[in-house]
Amino acid sequence: MEATLTRSAADLDLDPAAQNAVVTVRDLRVKAANSRGTNELLHGVSVAVAPGTMHGLVGETGSGKSITAAAIMGLLPKGVTVTSGSIKLGDRELVGLGHNELHELRGPAFGMIFQNPRTALHPMYSVGKQMGRVLAEHMELGRKERTERVLHYLRLVGIPDATRIAHAFPHELSGGLAQRVVIATSLLCDPTFLIADEPTTGLDATVQRQILELLARLQEDLKLSVLMITHDLSIVAQYCATVSVMYQGNVVEDGTVRQVLRSPSAPYSRNLLKASRLEFVTQRERSGLTAMSA
């Protein structure tokens, strides 16, 4: 029986790509407390996202992907806390920052895209109004400039009739359109870092592809650093440069997508690959496409 590998902060220190990372999580431990006691959810997670790259965070359900993302954003659920470790945005330590400081950072420094765009959008406000409110919170702009900025970002995410959509309410939008609006909103304040937590899971296959292509294009054009959380190794193979594999609250393996998908060393990654997407990778290789970045 092989031992489960877990990545430690010491491994990150040896990794040149982690040295100038935009976001660096080191030895992060997170616990949940309730009336019956406490339960550790993350057992020392280390993840680094290099500038201008898309890093995949993959793993089975319950492995701790969303808790890791929530910890980075300072949005852990009630009763769930960081007990030790570090989360840095550039040189800035985020663990221990107060609610207000984190709130101020969130719009300008990093954006979030969740699985269900409908829960991210306020049902009572038009698209333009809610995007305008986000801008008003984080940027000092006049009314006209705010409107122009909202329309600019709606167009940037592939919504040509931006004015009409700005007047629409969330229930009037299809799932794909709603997710485009969420992406536009996440970009409004020029963040350098985006977390996309299963951004396409609820969408049908064609729309899923369109949204992933859009994220890939934006990542490249705007030189964003993206943490792409997914169950789906084919998404990692196609869109990410590097990847961390999570299993039961640990990162069991990370590296370039090529390394991890070609020769996974952790038993869990090997099983994940075998169970899900090996065929996809070989298919792409057979058709002469470069499935994985170097």
Ligand X SMILES: Nc1ncnc2c1ncn2[C@@H]1O[C@H](COP(=O)(O)OP(=O)(O)OP(=O)(O)O)[C@@H](O)[C@H]1O
- Segment interacting with ligand X, rule: CB under 6 A, options 56-64, 124-132, 182-190, 278-286: 56-64
Taking a C-beta distance cutoff of 8 angstroms, is the pair 39, 6 a contact? no
Torsion of CA 83, 84, 87, 91, to 10 degrees: 130
Provide the residue type at 108 as one letter. Answer: P
Return the number of the residue (65 or 180) whose C-beta is nearest Mg ion. Answer: 65
Q: Minimal distance in Å, beta carbon 26 to Mg ion?
A: 21
Q: What CA–CA distance (Å, rounded) separates 248 from 189?
A: 35
Contact between 117 and ligand X by CB under 6 A: the answer reads no
- Segment interacting with ligand X, rule: CB under 6 A, options 20-28, 63-71, 164-172, 233-241: 63-71
Contact between 231 and ligand X by CB under 6 A: the answer reads yes
Give the pair of three-digit tokens for residue 126: 């038009």
Q: Minimal distance in Å, beta carbon 212 to Mg ion?
A: 17
SS3 226: strand
Residues 151-210 that bind ligand X (CB under 6 A): none
Return the number of the residue (62 or 90) whose C-beta is nearest Mg ion. Answer: 62
Q: Label the pairing between strands 242-247 and 250-256.
A: antiparallel
Beta bridge partners of 111: 194
- Segment interacting with ligand X, rule: CB under 6 A, options 55-63, 99-107, 150-158, 175-183: 55-63
Total residues in contact with ligand X, by rule CB under 6 A:
14
One residue of 8, 32, 81, 267 binding ligand X per CB under 6 A: 32
Q: Which does 231 bind (CB under 5 to 8 A by kind): ligand X, Mg ion, none?
A: ligand X
- Segment interacting with ligand X, rule: CB under 6 A, options 72-80, 92-100, 202-210, 262-270: 72-80
One residue of 55, 65, 180, 277 binding ligand X per CB under 6 A: 65
Contact between 123 and ligand X by CB under 6 A: the answer reads no
Provide the residue type at 113 as one letter. Answer: I
Torsion 125-143-174-201 (CA) sign: negative
Nearest to 196 by CA among 57, 103, 100: 57
Q: Minimal distance in Å, beta carbon 50 to ligand X?
A: 22
Over 22-84, what HEC string results? CEEEEEEEEEEEECCEEEEEEEEEEEEECCCCEEEEEECCCCCHHHHHHHHHCCCCCCEEEEE
One residue of 64, 107, 111, 264 binding ligand X per CB under 6 A: 64
Q: Minimal distance in Å, beta carbon 77 to ligand X?
A: 3
SS3 219: helix
Return the number of the residue (63 or 185) whose C-beta is nearest ligand X. Answer: 63
Taking a C-beta distance cutoff of 8 angstroms, is the pair 155, 214 a contact? no
Give the pair of three-digit tokens for residue 92: 């800035």
One residue of 67, 105, 181, 261 binding ligand X per CB under 6 A: 67
If you write DSSP's letter for every residue of 216-260 in order, what string do you get? HHHHHHTT-EEEEEES-HHHHHHH-SEEEEEETTEEEEEEEHHHH
Contact between 77 and ligand X by CB under 6 A: the answer reads yes
Biggest CA-to-CA distance, the chain: 65
One residue of 5, 22, 41, 291 binding ligand X per CB under 6 A: 41
Contact between 63 and ligand X by CB under 6 A: the answer reads yes
Q: Minimal distance in Å, beta carbon 236 to ligand X?
A: 14
Return residues touching ligand X (CB under 6 A). Answer: 32, 41, 59, 61-67, 77, 79-80, 231
